Amino acid sequence: MTKMNSMRILIHTLAAGLLLTLFSCDFGDDEKREFTFTPDVILMKKEQNGTIHYALAYYVYSNQKIESAHVQTPEGETIPLTALGTPLITYARVPDDNDFSPDVSFGPYTFIATNSDGTEKTEQDILSDNSLTIPEITDITYHPNNLSLEVTWTPTAGAENYFVKIVNAGDKKTTYTGYQVDPDSTSYTVNRNDQGWESAPVSGISYILQLNAILYEENSNLKERYYHVNAISIDEETFIWGQ
């Protein structure tokens, strides 16, 4: 499995949900390799009803097919993870709006995964309290001449990447996920011929635009940091397509 595909899965499921990106690497499915996986617990942050709330996303990226995976919190709670697509080498649990709350537990999260041969592995990921200020969307402009949508925002100090996501305001299903852009970016254009569309937008329908600011874990190297996200802060604005 390529890093591009793994990151596509992440963006599509974060805040959720990663990812259409420009990156690639190998998380191969060679059954002769020693079974290994990379765990990632991600701190999600956004404002709800005027209050900052948090939730956690959990990911397991494996080099072999997985039969099952779960994570144990610092308090000892066990949280099952489910497969994301095929082959079955990425398992996750992504929060929805009801999972966000004012409090979250920091510290070690223990991930346990079992491959198709019954081999069990355990890895830990430490959730730190490092997070980002929530970015601020400043404008959403629809351009009827080319059916595009332009988003602008105020930069967030410390952000290492941004990506835009559009969800249906009614059923909350993902409609579009954009590519990641550089930390100095302050705008993004959603085009109708982009590859990030999961369904076609409908004129007159309300959507929620999510601007996601990404912070990677400290000391994660450039090649592997897309498997080591520490926090994502999200701003949301509702708009009507075509207006």
Q: Quick one: which of 110, 57, 115 has its CA closest to 87? A: 115
Residue 171, judged by CB atoms within 10 A of its CB (0-12, 13-18, 19+), counts as: exposed
Q: Residue 147 has what pLDDT?
A: 92
Q: Residue 20 has what pLDDT?
A: 30
Q: Residue 221 has what pLDDT?
A: 66
Show the domains of the chain with their CATH numbers. 3-127 (2.60.40), 136-240 (2.60.40.10)
Q: Residue 24 has what pLDDT?
A: 31
Q: Are 231 and 131 in contact (CB under 8 A)?
A: yes
Q: Residue 222 has what pLDDT?
A: 64
Q: Residue 16 has what pLDDT?
A: 34
Q: What is the chain's pLDDT, residue by residue, as a tens digit (243 residues)?
A: 444 444 444 544 443 334 333 223 344 444 568 999 999 999 999 999 999 999 999 999 999 999 999 999 999 999 999 998 777 889 999 999 999 999 999 999 999 999 999 999 999 999 999 899 999 999 999 999 999 999 999 989 999 999 999 999 999 999 999 999 999 999 999 999 999 999 999 999 999 999 999 999 887 766 677 788 999 999 999 999 999
Q: Quick one: which of 103, 95, 54, 42 has its CA closest to 75? A: 103
Q: Residue 26 has what pLDDT?
A: 44
Q: Residue 235 has what pLDDT?
A: 97
Q: Rg of the Cα trace of the chain? A: 18
